[in-house]
């Protein structure tokens, strides 16, 4: 745009309407303004992308003087490690020589000796066992004998006591009957009277509860005993007229008669005296 144009534009009356020249001038002014704006933007971008200039400065100030620290002596270096001893060479041990083959005769002799020793030990144990058994049997035999002696003494005591009671009772009975004979005398009427056939069963029933066997009786031995009684059946005396093969059975029968003390009367009310009674274990 020329200077005359600009002056003309400035001198124009603002109240007057725009002409064609003023429009062109405005367009040209706008285009110029845009060009300037673009140029300024480009210059600003280039200015921002330039490298900044580095600056450095040193500051100094008064620092108090400090004595330098005493130098520390370094520790002594450790001694070098002792060298490892060289490994000793491995000595190969030779294998042991093979054992000699056993002599079969020696093995046989050892087996025989072992069997002989075992048999001797067994024989010794058997002998010791036999001795122990004999000791036990002897001890039992002595204990049984002591028990038998004790029972025998007790039986003798009871028998003596029973005999004494019997004599006293006989004397009392004879005294009540007015008899003048001795305590061992008997009347002829009682002696002559024979028992009935069923009387033996009554005698067995009276004596059976008093048969107390201390030991087992072998077989069926028979013993005959004569029994004398008073008129009321009280047993006055007894004696073995025919012993059996077992002394134990004979003594058992005599003890049973003593315990019975009195025999039952026969059917006629009398007790036959004297009577011979037969005793067998199987009958009782």
The range of the structural domain enclosing residue 269 comes to: 197-283
Q: Are 148 and 224 members of one domain?
A: no
Number of structural domains the chain divides into: 2
- Residue-wise pLDDT for 25-34, tens only, equals 677 778 878 8
Predicted confidence band of residue 244 (pLDDT cuts 50, 70, 90)? confident
Which element (helix H / strand E) includes 228? strand 223-229
Q: Are 201 and 153 members of one domain?
A: no
Which residues are CB-neighbours of 62 under 8 A, at least 6 positions away? none
pLDDT at residue number 5: 43
Q: Looking at the domain assignment, is residue 192 inside a domain? A: no
Q: Are 206 and 170 members of one domain?
A: no
Distance between first and last Cα of the chain: 183
- Rounded to whole angstroms, the Cα distance separating 119 from 124 reads 8
**Quick one: how far is CA 198 from the chain centroid?**
68
Q: Looking at the domain assignment, is residue 92 inside a domain? A: no
Between 10 and 56, residue with greater pLDDT? 56
Angle (CA) 225 226 227, round 5°: 110
Q: Looking at the domain assignment, is residue 33 inside a domain? A: no
Q: Are 116 and 165 members of one domain?
A: yes
pTM above threshold 0.85: no
CATH number at residue 248: 3.30.1150.10
Q: Are 202 and 276 members of one domain?
A: yes
Pick the range with the lowest mean pLDDT from 44-48, 76-80, 143-147: 44-48
pLDDT at residue number 1: 45
- Residue-wise pLDDT for 86-113, tens only, equals 677 677 777 777 776 667 788 888 888 8
Which of 12-16, 45-49, 116-120, 264-268 reaches the highest mean pLDDT?
116-120
Q: Looking at the domain assignment, is residue 42 inside a domain? A: no
Q: Are 231 and 278 members of one domain?
A: yes
Q: Please, which residues bridge with residue 278 across strands?
A: 224
Q: Are 111 and 152 members of one domain?
A: yes
Percent pLDDT > 70 in the chain is 67
- Residue-wise pLDDT for 168-201, tens only, equals 665 665 554 433 333 343 443 334 456 677 788 8
pLDDT at residue number 107: 81
Q: What are the contacts of 154-158 at 24+ separation with CB within 8 A?
A: 155/251, 155/255, 158/255, 158/258
Q: Are 126 and 172 members of one domain?
A: yes
Q: Are 155 and 211 members of one domain?
A: no
Q: Give the max Cα distance, the chain.
A: 221
Q: Looking at the domain assignment, is residue 156 inside a domain? A: yes
Q: Looking at the domain assignment, is residue 214 inside a domain? A: yes
Q: Is the peptide bond before 71 cis (omega within 30 degrees of 0)?
A: no
pLDDT at residue number 29: 78
């Amino acid at each position: 745009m020329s200077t005359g144009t600009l002056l003309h534009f400035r001198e124009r009356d603002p109240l007057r309407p725009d002409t064609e020249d003023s429009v062109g001038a405005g367009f040209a002014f706008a285009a110029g303004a845009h060009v300037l704006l673009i140029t300024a933007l480009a210059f600003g971008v280039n200015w921002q992308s330039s490298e900044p200039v580095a600056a450095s400065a040193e500051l100094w100030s008064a620092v108090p003087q400090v004595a330098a620290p005493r130098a520390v002596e370094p520790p002594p270096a450790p001694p070098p490690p002792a060298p490892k001893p060289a490994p000793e060479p491995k000595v190969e041990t030779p294998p042991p020589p093979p054992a000699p083959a056993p002599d079969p005769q020696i093995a046989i002799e050892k087996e025989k000796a072992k069997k002989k020793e075992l048999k001797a030990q067994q024989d010794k144990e058997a002998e010791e066992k036999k001795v122990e058994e004999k000791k036990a049997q002897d001890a039992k035999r002595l204990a049984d004998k002591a028990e038998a002696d004790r029972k025998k003494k007790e039986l003798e005591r009871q028998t003596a006591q029973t005999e004494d009671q019997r004599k006293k009772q006989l004397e009392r009975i004879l005294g009540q009957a007015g008899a003048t004979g001795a305590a061992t005398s008997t009347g002829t009427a009682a002696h002559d009277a024979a028992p009935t056939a069923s009387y033996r069963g009554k005698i067995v029933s009276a004596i059976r509860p008093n048969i107390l066997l201390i030991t087992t009786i072998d077989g069926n031995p028979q013993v005959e005993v004569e029994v004398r009684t008073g008129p009321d059946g009280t047993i006055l005396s007894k004696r073995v007229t025919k012993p059996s093969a077992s002394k134990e059975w004979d003594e058992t029968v005599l003890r049973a008669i003593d315990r019975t003390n009195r025999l039952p009367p026969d059917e006629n009310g009398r007790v036959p005296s004297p009577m011979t009674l037969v005793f067998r274990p199987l009958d009782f």
